[in-house]
C-alpha cells in the first residue's frame, strides 16, 4: 500500500502515519517527492486497512498495490481451474452451453425444453425454481416442486442441472436436486449466503451484480473459496449503465479481464446481459470469441407464454441455429463446444421414448 500525504503535510503528520503503520506490523519507506511525501507500506499488510490512513490528518489518499483477493488470484494459482460436473468440464478446452427456461413452469415445459436443448447440443440444463423478482406481486417460482421437475428432466435427458439458491435455509434443499448452485446477481454480496455455499462441496456459479466491480466479484468468490469450496465459476450477466437501448450493458470485456486475473472458469449470460432475444445470438458468438468457458442461455418452447423473461428467451429452433454458429466460432478460436454426456444413440433413443411417457402422464403433446 502507498500512503500519499497532502502537499502541506507536517513532519508530525508524516511521523504519525509511520508510527501507525508500524503498530500494525508494517514496515515503511517514505519517499519525498517535489510536492508530496509518499509512504510505502511493506511486509505483512493483512491487518492494515486503507480507511485507517484515509482518516488520518495530513493524508491525501491511499493507493492499494496488491490485489485484495488471494485464493481467486491467478498470480498465486497460475494453472486454470477445471470443474467437472458429471463429465462436463468447465474451464478446459471445451466451451459448455447451458440452456433452458428462465423459470420452471411445469413438468412438461421443463422436460420438453430439456429434450430440445439436448438435441441442439446443450450439455447442462438450466431452470429457476426460486425466482428473485422485482415485484412482490410477480410469479416467484414453483419452489421445491420446480426442483423435482428439474431432477426429472435430468433423469430423462442425462443433462446435469443448474438452479439458483436464494437463501441459506434453502441450500440443502436445492443441493439435493441440482448439480450446480447458482448465486444470482442480486445476491452477489449476500455474504451469509456466500459463506454457506462455501461450506458445501457443490460447484457454484456466482453472478456479477448489476453494479459489481470485477474486483468485487473476485472478492465475493473469495468468500466462497475461503470457506473451502474451490469449485467456483464466475458469470458476467450485464451491468447497469446509463445506456437504455439494452436492458443492461453486457460487459464482454469482463471475460478476458477475469481470465487474466483469475484461474476460475468464466461464464457468459447474454440473455440477462442484454435482455433482448434478438441480441442473444450475436452476443453469444462474441462471448465465445472473447474467451468465455461457458454460456448460459434462455430457451423456452413458447416465449410469449413464459412466466418470466420471455423477451430474452430463444425458441428451440433459433437455439439450434445458434448452436451451429457457436460450433464454427469455437473452432475459429481453437476450442470446441462440449457435447452432452451419454452416447448420442442412447440419448436419441431415450429422447424418442420420453415424449410418449410424458404424453401419457400429462396428456400434452410434446411435438
Which of 151, 173, 230, 286 touches a copy of itself (CB under 8 A)?
Answer: 286
Query: Would you report the helix, strand and coil content of the chain in percent, each value rounded to 5?
Result: 40, 20, 40
- Residue 160 or 238 having the CB closest to a copy of itself: 238
Which of 304, 345, 363, 367 touches a copy of itself (CB under 8 A)?
Answer: 304
Q: Of 112, 6, 4, which Cα lies nearest the Cα of 65?
A: 4
Q: Of 109, 113, 88, 111, which Cα lies nearest the Cα of 99?
A: 113
For a copy of itself, the binding residues in 45-74 under the rule CB under 8 A are 46, 49-52, 54-56, 63, 65-66, 68
Is residue 303 a contact point for a copy of itself (CB under 8 A)? yes
How many chain residues bind a copy of itself (CB under 8 A)?
A: 110
**195: number of Cβ within 10 Å:** 15
Which of 155, 176, 331, 348 touches a copy of itself (CB under 8 A)?
Answer: 331
Minimum distance, C-beta of residue 175 to a copy of itself, in the bound complex (Å): 17
For a copy of itself, the binding residues in 14-43 under the rule CB under 8 A are 20, 29, 31-36, 38, 40, 42-43
Minimum distance, C-beta of residue 83 to a copy of itself, in the bound complex (Å): 21
Distance between alpha carbon 276 and the CA centroid of its chain, in Å? 19
Is residue 285 a contact point for a copy of itself (CB under 8 A)? yes
Joined together, the cell numbers standing for residue 311 give 423477451
For a copy of itself, the binding residues in 75-114 under the rule CB under 8 A are 75
Gap between the Cα atoms of 352 and 233, Å rounded: 33
- Residue 42 or 352 having the CB closest to a copy of itself: 42
- Residue 67 or 119 having the CB closest to a copy of itself: 67
**284: number of Cβ within 10 Å:** 28
For a copy of itself, the binding residues in 110-169 under the rule CB under 8 A are 132-138, 166-169
Report which DSSP code applies to 81.
P
Minimum distance, C-beta of residue 164 to a copy of itself, in the bound complex (Å): 12
Gap between the Cα atoms of 22 and 321, Å rounded: 63
Report which DSSP code applies to 3.
E
> Residue 35: CB partners within 8 Å, gap ≥ 6?
7
Gap between the Cα atoms of 58 and 326, Å rounded: 56
Report which DSSP code applies to 250.
-
* Residue that is written with C-alpha cell 454426456 in the block: 341
Gap between the Cα atoms of 106 and 150, Å rounded: 10
Is residue 10 a contact point for a copy of itself (CB under 8 A)? no
Is residue 305 a contact point for a copy of itself (CB under 8 A)? yes
Is residue 251 a contact point for a copy of itself (CB under 8 A)? yes
Give the interface segment with a copy of itself, choosing from 117-125, 174-182, 281-289, 354-362 (CB under 8 A).
281-289
Is residue 252 a contact point for a copy of itself (CB under 8 A)? yes
For a copy of itself, the binding residues in 189-228 under the rule CB under 8 A are 189-192, 195, 209-211, 213-216, 219, 222-223, 226-227
Is residue 364 a contact point for a copy of itself (CB under 8 A)? no
Quick one: residue 135, left, alpha or beta (phi over 0 = left, psi -120 to 50 = alpha)? beta
Report which DSSP code applies to 73.
B
Minimum distance, C-beta of residue 81 to a copy of itself, in the bound complex (Å): 18
Gap between the Cα atoms of 51 and 24, Å rounded: 13
- Residue 330 or 354 having the CB closest to a copy of itself: 330
Which of 144, 311, 321, 359 touches a copy of itself (CB under 8 A)?
Answer: 311
Minimum distance, C-beta of residue 358 to a copy of itself, in the bound complex (Å): 24
Minimum distance, C-beta of residue 125 to a copy of itself, in the bound complex (Å): 21
Is residue 332 a contact point for a copy of itself (CB under 8 A)? yes
Q: Of 272, 236, 274, 232, which Cα lies nearest the Cα of 252?
A: 236
Gap between the Cα atoms of 227 and 272, Å rounded: 29
Minimum distance, C-beta of residue 213 to a copy of itself, in the bound complex (Å): 6
Amino acid at each position: 500500500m502507498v500512503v500519499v500525504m497532502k502537499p502541506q503535510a507536517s513532519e508530525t503528520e508524516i511521523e504519525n502515519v509511520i508510527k501507525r503503520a508500524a503498530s500494525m506490523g508494517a514496515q515503511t519507506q517514505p519517499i519525498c517527492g517535489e510536492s508530496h511525501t509518499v509512504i510505502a507500506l511493506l511486509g505483512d499488510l493483512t491487518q492494515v486497512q486503507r480507511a485507517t490512513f484515509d482518516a488520518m490528518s495530513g493524508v491525501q489518499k491511499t493507493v492499494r498495490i496488491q490485489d485484495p483477493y488471494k485464493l481467486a488470484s491467478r498470480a498465486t494459482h497460475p494453472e486454470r481451474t477445471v470443474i467437472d460436473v458429471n463429465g462436463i468440464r468447465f474451464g478446459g478446452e471445451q466451451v459448455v452451453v447451458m440452456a433452458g427456461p428462465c423459470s420452471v413452469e411445469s413438468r412438461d415445459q421443463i422436460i420438453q425444453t430439456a429434450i430440445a436443448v439436448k438435441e441442439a447440443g446443450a450439455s447442462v440444463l438450466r431452470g429457476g425454481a426460486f425466482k428473485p423478482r422485482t415485484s412482490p406481486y410477480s410469479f416467484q417460482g414453483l419452489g421445491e416442486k420446480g426442483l423435482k421437475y428439474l431432477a426429472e428432466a435430468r433423469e430423462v435427458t442425462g443433462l446435469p442441472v443448474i438452479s439458483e439458491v436464494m437463501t441459506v435455509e434453502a441450500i440443502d434443499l436445492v443441493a439435493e436436486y441440482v448439480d450446480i448452485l447458482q448465486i444470482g446477481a442480486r445476491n452477489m454480496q449476500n455474504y451469509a449466503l456466500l459463506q454457506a455455499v462455501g461450506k458445501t462441496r457443490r460447484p457454484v456459479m456466482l453472478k456479477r451484480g448489476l453494479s459489481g466491480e470485477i474486483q468485487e466479484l473476485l472478492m465475493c468468490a473469495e468468500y466462497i473459496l475461503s470457506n473451502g469450496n474451490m469449485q467456483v465459476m464466475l458469470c458476467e450477466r450485464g451491468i447497469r449503465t446509463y445506456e437504455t437501448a439494452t436492458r443492461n450493458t453486457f460487459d464482454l470485456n469482463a471475460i478476458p479481464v477475469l481470465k487474466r486475473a483469475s484461474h476460475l472458469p468464466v461464464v457468459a449470460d447474454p440473455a440477462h446481459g442484454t435482455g433482448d432475444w434478438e441480441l442473444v445470438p450475436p452476443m453469444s458468438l462474441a462471448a465465445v470469441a472473447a474467451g468465455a468457458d461457458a454460456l448460459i442461455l434462455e430457451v423456452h418452447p413458447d416465449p410469449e407464454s413464459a412466466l418470466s423473461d420471455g423477451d430474452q428467451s430463444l425458441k428451440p429452433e433459433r437455439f439450434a441455429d445458434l448452436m451451429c454458429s457457436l460450433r464454427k466460432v469455437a473452432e475459429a478460436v481453437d476450442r470446441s463446444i462440449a457435447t452432452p454426456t451419454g452416447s448420442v444413440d442412447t440419448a436419441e433413443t431415450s429422447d424418442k421414448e420420453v415424449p410418449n411417457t410424458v404424453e401419457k402422464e400429462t396428456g400434452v403433446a410434446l411435438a
